[in-house]
Chain A
Amino acid sequence: MDIRVSVQHEPFNGLDDSRELGQGRTDIGAVVCFTGLVRDFNESPDVTGLTLEHYPGMTERTLEDIGQEAWKRWSLKAVRIVHRVGYMAPGDGIVRVSAASAHRRDAFEACDFIMDFLKTQAPFWKKEHATSGDYWVKERATDYADAERWHGSR
């Protein structure tokens, strides 16, 4: 299993992982790379930044478990999950998930699956800073509905 997970303060390297994942191998036919960014509007219209908190240890393990579950469900060649913590400004990358496979469908679906479970299971919490004040972001029912889609499939 080629799964790598990182929870880090530092911004991501480079634009995406497709070059790194394809390096020195020719069995990969598709790399799907998702990047989540900080928006300047969310629960309030004037978000100036956010601070991400996590639970060291459990967070990394949960991301690894999600990666392994994706590995079981699809035929994958590599999985990378990078999630940032600490302070971030609008436009900054928060999360990057990359899935590599021989054919595109596996990579697309695995990437989608990993994001759905990351958002509903991995212990991260967002606090948004807005001109009107700071507040903790509320969980969203749509995120749980998205994760529910995968139950029973495969």
Chain B
Amino acid sequence: MQLTHLNAHGEASMVDVGDKEETRREAIASGRIVMQPETLALLVDGALPKGDVIATARIAGIQAAKRTHELIPLCHSLALSKVALEFDIDVAQSCVHVEAMCRLIGRTGVEMEALTAVSVACLTLYDMCKAVDKDMRIEAVQLEHKSGGRRGVYQRSTDAPIVTGDSAAREVSLGERCDAPSVRVKFLAELRERVGESETVVALDELENCDVAGLKTTLAARDAAFETLGERRILCAINQVMANDSTRITDEDEVAFFPPVTGG
């Protein structure tokens, strides 16, 4: 893995994104500011000396997202199509959770904009409340989700279900990388319940044939529960594009098996 903002000499360098394809990109970042319960109560009641704290922090976050390139040296200036901030008052933990979503159709990711929006919204909350509370802490500013672009979807692992379907929380994520050439195999919805697991890793050298049919054969040999993958109704996607039995499988592919869709 190479740092994209350093050139071969280790010098800072702005990435040329001119040749990248324009895609719909979205990033969600979150953070929180912890404060005294009394401060939070004043904030909720709108009784702080500087007025409506949340509305001010929201505008600050939106403005900050638009000006990220002025703050972070190697960030491109982006024509954001959407910036939205959510504030969640958490009395139990005596804090305000801040979440920012940035979106655009473009050639470069928007996670810096989302992270900047969260950071500046938290700083604004601090500024608005500091007259009554100097012990506030800004914490856990982090990327939650990113989509669009060459590297696919990033989703921070949490306890919250991203993919629901049964009582246990499950999620689809890119997961850890394996050293030996291998593929990650996911089972979705009804199929996940039938095979009894949500994902597994299969080394490419376990496969007699490096295609979907070969993968099914290998899995069925591993456990009879996987024989169900041979049913005609079961569908397959490789790297989130529909595939069939003869589609080739290569290192680091994400293979998903699932039943016919029933949305809408």
Q: Which of B72-80, B89-97, B157-165, B218-226 contacts A (4 or more CB under 8 A)?
A: B157-165
Q: How far is the CB of A24 from chain B (nearest CB, A)?
A: 15
Task: Please name all residues of chain A whose beta carbon is closer than 8 Å to the beta carbon of B233 when the two chains form the complex.
Answer: 139
Q: How far is the CB of B84 from chain A (nearest CB, A)?
A: 12
B contact face: mostly helix, strand, loop, or mixed: loop
* Interface presence of A53 (CB below 8 A): yes
One of B24, B164, B259, B263 near A95 (C-beta < 8 A): B263
* Interface presence of B240 (CB below 8 A): yes
Q: When each residue 154-177 of chain B gets 1 if its CB lies under 8 Å from chain A and 0 otherwise, what string results?
A: 010000011111100000100000
Within 8 A of B (CB), among A40-77: 51-58, 60-61, 64
Within 8 A of A (CB), among B231-264: 233, 237, 240-241, 256, 258-264
23 CB contacts below 8 A, A to B, read A52-B263, A57-B147, A57-B172, A58-B256, A83-B264, A86-B164, A94-B264, A119-B263, A119-B264, A121-B261, A124-B261, A124-B262, A124-B264, A125-B190, A125-B258, A125-B261, A126-B263, A127-B165, A127-B190, A136-B193, A136-B262, A138-B262, A139-B261
Is there an interface contact between B260 and A53, defined as CB atoms closer than 8 Å? no
* Interface presence of B136 (CB below 8 A): no
Is there an interface contact between A118 and B147, defined as CB atoms closer than 8 Å? no
One of A61, A83, A94, A125 near B259 (C-beta < 8 A): A125
B binding-site residues for A, Cβ under 8 Å: 24, 147, 152-153, 155, 161-166, 172, 188-190, 193, 233, 237, 240-241, 256, 258-264
Is there an interface contact between A57 and B152, defined as CB atoms closer than 8 Å? yes
Is there an interface contact between B190 and A55, defined as CB atoms closer than 8 Å? no
Q: How many A-B residue pairs have CB under 8 A?
A: 96
Given that A118-B264, A124-B264 are contacting pairs, would A56 and B153 also be in contact in the complex, using a CB cutoff of 8 Å? yes
Is there an interface contact between B264 and A123, defined as CB atoms closer than 8 Å? no
Task: Please name all residues of chain B whose beta carbon is closer than 8 Å to the beta carbon of A120 when the two chains form the complex.
Answer: 261
- Closest 5 A/B residue pairs (Cβ): A124-B263, A125-B189, A139-B260, A58-B240, A136-B190
